[in-house]
Structure 1
């Protein structure tokens, strides 16, 4: 259980932070940028939830929890040393990826195929979901960059890749199952 009885520690005043394994690194380290952007994604999901109800809100709540799992996974390097931690280390799983895929498939079945690119907008919920999509794509890019330099759980990168697709399809659902999508008209303002 997490107990936070003191919010500031002053240990980061010199520009370093602790990873999940206790190592101290610069606050601008690639790993910190990756999980920090996952946290930013989670904040955008919180904003989207202000406009969501029912099943959409339930799915977004699950995603928010997954994003904390993902942050916990990314903040702990040295996967090969997980057994030495003395407690179960939280890692993303392929079942979380599969859940997103199943939900994407269900949403895809409800919307007509696209004949143009979609501009971010339409309903308030759709606009927020597009913001979630773009921030999650940035988190994915940083995680993929991190994976090129250090070991990263493959399920973490897969999850982020599916997540942006989930947000895209969810934005279409939020736009009256795609009927209220704002479509790009190439060269419309020349």
Structure 2
């Protein structure tokens, strides 16, 4: 269990922060940027949930929890040393990706096929979900970039990739099952 009695520690006042293994790195370190962006995604998702209800809100709540798992995974380098850790680090697992895929398939099965690209917008929930989609794509790019120089759990990258797809399909659902999607009209303003 996490206990936070004191919110500020002053340990980051000189521009460093601690990773999950205790190592101190610059606050602009690629790993910190990657898990910081997953936190930003979680905050944008919190805004989307203001407009959600029922099953959609429950699914978004599960994703928010997953994003904390993902941040915990990214903040802990040295995957090879997991077995030697005093406490087993929290890592993303395949079943979290599988759940997203199952939900995408269920949502998409009720939608008409796309005949055009969609512009972000429509309902308030759909617009927020499109914002979540773009932040998820950025988080994915940063995790992939990090993986070029350091070890990253592959389930993190797969989850972020699938999550942006989830947000896209969910935005269509939020737009009256795609009936209120805002369609791109190529060259409309020429």
Provide TM-score, normalisation by structure 2. 0.99
Q: Distance in 2 between matches of 1:149 and 1:189?
A: 44
SS in 1 for 2:10: coil
Q: Distance in 2 between matches of 1:81 and 1:24?
A: 17
Gaps of 5+ in 2: none
SS in 1 for 2:7: coil
Gaps of 5+ in 1: none
Tell me how far 1:87 sits from its aligned partner: 1.2
Q: Distance in 1 between matches of 2:14 and 2:35?
A: 20
Partner in structure 1 of residue 76 of structure 2: 76
Partner in structure 1 of residue 189 of structure 2: 189
Partner in structure 1 of residue 108 of structure 2: 108
Partner in structure 2 of residue 44 of structure 1: 44
Count how many residue pairs are aligned between Structure 1 and Structure 2: 190
List aligned pairs for 1:141-180, cutoff 5 A.
Answer: 141-180=141-180
Partner in structure 1 of residue 17 of structure 2: 17
Deviations 1:4-63 (A, max 9, x none): 000000000000000000000000000000000000000011000000000000000000
Tell me how far 1:83 sits from its aligned partner: 1.4
Q: Distance in 2 between matches of 1:136 and 1:185?
A: 25
Partner in structure 2 of residue 117 of structure 1: 117
Runs of 4+ in 1 over 4 A off after TM superposition: none
Tell me how far 1:159 sits from its aligned partner: 0.2
Partner in structure 1 of residue 88 of structure 2: 88
Tell me how far 1:88 sits from its aligned partner: 1.9
Tell me how far 1:86 sits from its aligned partner: 1.1
Q: Distance in 1 between matches of 2:9 and 2:85?
A: 23
Q: Distance in 2 between matches of 1:132 and 1:34?
A: 15
Q: Distance in 2 between matches of 1:122 and 1:139?
A: 24
Q: Distance in 2 between matches of 1:104 and 1:149?
A: 32
Superposition RMSD on alpha carbons, in Å? 0.4
Partner in structure 2 of residue 62 of structure 1: 62
